[in-house]
Structure 1
């Protein structure tokens, strides 16, 4: 029997969470890649916010505040739960959040597949229940360079990971290699082309004659010793700073006030939230950033040497350590060490070129979103042809 809907595009459900901007950006990148192929049938859902709005808000606030108020506690929780298994008491509890909501959504929407961009895996447990009338295949897009077992479930049909090392880690815990694709982490379409032009320098008030140190404290705009770091970097007459404070308007205002009378203030440009961060990355010589998986992937796409200052324990510290082991990132513990490392790079064109070459080795041949979408659509094309018989 031939399916009447054989020629239609598959309907895909993309599940994310709003703990930081990264998971949302990854989801939008995948949705954008689908739409470029004419598939407008994807549905994005913030599952935790939809199913448990009050708990979602509380846990989001804890996550955001953990960077400044209790980073050690967050890191301890990450490390303790890192080896957690899906069938443990805690693992089962974590994956139960949103299960009833997603069961109703799947029954109503009947998607052809579900894509997870956050390790809230409520769909796989549903698939294992005998009473479940319909359970679509599930795919997981791991958004860090470190593997936390919350991402792992036997009912996940396919994993998309940032590196070959992650694929090997999954193999080590029993996930067959055929179920894992090294895709990279999906980024916005704007990162496909990164060109520095005089017009861009002018748009951001920067000079094309000096190297740019891009500083990105993160979506909440937090970075310890920010004022001292800026002061030390400005003591180097040959560079300029582009500081992106994100949505932290208080930080932006305080920084502008602090450096208003600084003799080198014209070499410090301070911005709020910028949606076109790829443009600033195209102008930069290096980046100092909070090492979230998406931001690090953006830096890799732009071939920017990465500096991480006192990375918060947890996935971000592990991300930084991984890229440091590959020669793509430098971790510093105090402002003097950090600024000396940045200046050493800026002052040595050969070192800078070699750093970019190392980072280029971490790039994937195809953009991650395209790679993931191509793989998913090809798998569903095969399923569709099989169902004709």
Structure 2
């Protein structure tokens, strides 16, 4: 181990923003504990900059325009073995660049927030390789996350742990931690700062939060918003993210509607979640974890085949979400829930049962105690 503070490397990928958010949450907790020698690395971007940009563009286009193809590939490879020909090929990606980083940086620990197994593959080939752990950032388990060379897995649910065990991972190497979020998601609503500038919510209406900007506009977004705007007891907050075209279009469409609020990128999304009655969103693992932390009833619209669909089915099976594929069906589901206080409370309670608070603290506690073997007084910093 390095003298002084251990050297920690966090590997992520920027396919979407979720893996990076988890990486930042872990980095923040490590630094809070006094671990200042932490580096984040997008391995694929560093190893293959041009190919990576092309691959990311193709991935996003498949995800948006031909999701059935993406889903078919996901399903066909979901149970692949780490030592299969495809598994070995994927695990070798970035290997040369990784060896260079390991030689130069000499980390004591590597944390994965994206399913790339070059590190555990190296660990099985070399002596004195760094310890490595994986934080699984979905509620649906794909074979790419699993490799016998991983020292520790951190998963969102007991069900995921059971599935990983069924696939041959030793129980002692799996910790049910939840998915790490930024600390503000663990704060009570009354302790948070106010709503985004210029936004005022009517306390006599139910607030519906619609996340419309991920990977381009949500399918049928305009039609969904029009339907919801006609419901007299609802107030609609639309977050367009960095989708400027969607923000301009919806702002123009609803400029005269007092109960529809169109926002661009929002830093205080946790505040909006805490004050909302329900949310319409895509079922990414990090977004779902944020909703669990806020006990916010979920309406999952047209989930893309693949991990999104798997995530959505899991939450629907737990009674924590409703899935729909048509705007009218979605609006019926929302109205039926928010107008029934008992149903709302029951849904929130089911979401609370899924919540694993302070996941980043749980993970760092375990890293300190069982992998880095640091002094216990650091655990309470």
Aligned to 1:154: 148
What is the CA–CA distance in structure 1 between the aligned matches of 2:225 and 2:14, rounded to whole Å? Answer: 30
The aligned residue for residue 96 of structure 1 is 92
**Which residue of structure 2 lines up, in the alignment, with residue 10 of structure 1?**
6
Partners in 2 of 1:124 and 1:11 — Cα distance? 17
Change (3 A) 1:32 1:77: same
SS at match of 2:179: coil
Out of 167, 171, 174, which is 1:180 matched to?
Answer: 174
Report the CA distance between 1:141 and its aligned residue.
0.3
- Cα deviation, residue 289, structure 1: 0.3
Deviations 1:161-215 (A, max 9, x none): 0000000001101111100000001111221114158943875232233221011
Q: Secondary structure at the match of 2:337?
A: helix
RMSD: 1.8
Contact 1:220–1:246 (CA under 8 A) maintained in structure 2: no
Aligned equivalents of 2:60 and 2:268: distance in 1? 23
Please name the residue that 1:224 is paired with.
219
C-alpha displacement at 1:63, in angstroms? 2.2
The secondary structure found in structure 1 opposite 2:121 is helix
Displacement after TM superposition at 1:159 (Å): 0.3
TM-score by length of 1: 0.92
Q: How does 1:1-389 map to 2 (within 5 A)?
A: 5=3, 8-129=4-125, 132=126, 134-195=128-189, 199-200=194-195, 203-261=198-256, 265-364=257-356, 366-382=357-373
In structure 2, the CA distance between the partners of 1:168 and 1:330, relative to structure 1 (3 Å rule), is same
CA distance in 1, matches of 2:2, 2:360: 29
> 1:61 Cα shift?
1.1
Q: Which runs of 5+ in 1 are unaligned?
A: none
Report if aligned partners of 1:221, 1:245 keep a CA contact under 8 Å in 2. Answer: no
Aligned partners of 1:308 and 1:330 also within 8 Å? yes
Q: Deviations over 1:301-345 (max 9, x none)?
A: 000010111100000010000010000010012111110010111
Deviation readout 1:39-93 (Å, 9 max, x if unpaired): 1111100011011111211121122222321111111111111111111111111
- Structure 2 residues not aligned, in runs of 5+: 377-381
SS in 2 for 1:68: helix
